[in-house]
Structure 1
């Protein structure tokens, strides 16, 4: 089954529940998740004559913001949740000299 594409209407509906003053970011590349600043919206007609809207990062060097926060990658199912290893009980301190 082919995945359905998100429409502009669906995006507007989802975004209407968000804080309108919040910065908009783009999560890219599930194998090396990075966060990008979203700065451009391009409305074009594709080769079949259908309208298509592209969301794009900006043209500046600082558009890529760095690694995607782990909780976002987990929420997108791009990474599995990671838990800290269990703590072991400490052994008694060794005497000076390593004996």
Structure 2
């Protein structure tokens, strides 16, 4: 089974509706979602000889920005929406 790949044209079309001054982040690893700074773009060929464009994270220690915001993981369908559990009444110091 093959999956359709996003093309450069698809990416340009999707980005054309975004504010040009907003930083670009890379969301990685659906099982432990993290945000990364995008630093480089390079073009090459894959193992079959097809041209491919690679988006790469930076090399410095500040490239990984931490956990992906939960709303982003939900929007990407990497996580289910989660609601906080209902609050229980607090017990008094006397145990009653």
Fold equivalence (TM over 0.5) = yes
Deviations 1:49-96 (A, max 9, x none): 3210000101111100000000000001110000112344x47x74x6
State the match for 2:60 in structure 1: 60
In the aligned structure 2, how far is the partner of 1:58 from the partner of 1:27? 13
- Deviation of 1:97 after TM superposition, in Å, equals 4.4
Aligned pairs, how many? 96
Asked if residue 32 in structure 1 is aligned to residue 32 in structure 2, the reply is: yes
Larger Rg: 1
CA RMSD of superposed structures (Å)? 1.9
Give the ranges of 4+ consecutive aligned residues of structure 1 lying more than 3 Å apart after TM superposition: 96-99
1:8-87 alignment to 2 at 5 Å? 8-87=8-87
In the aligned structure 2, how far is the partner of 1:58 from the partner of 1:73? 22
TM-score, length-scaled by structure 1: 0.86
- Secondary structure of 2:62's match? helix
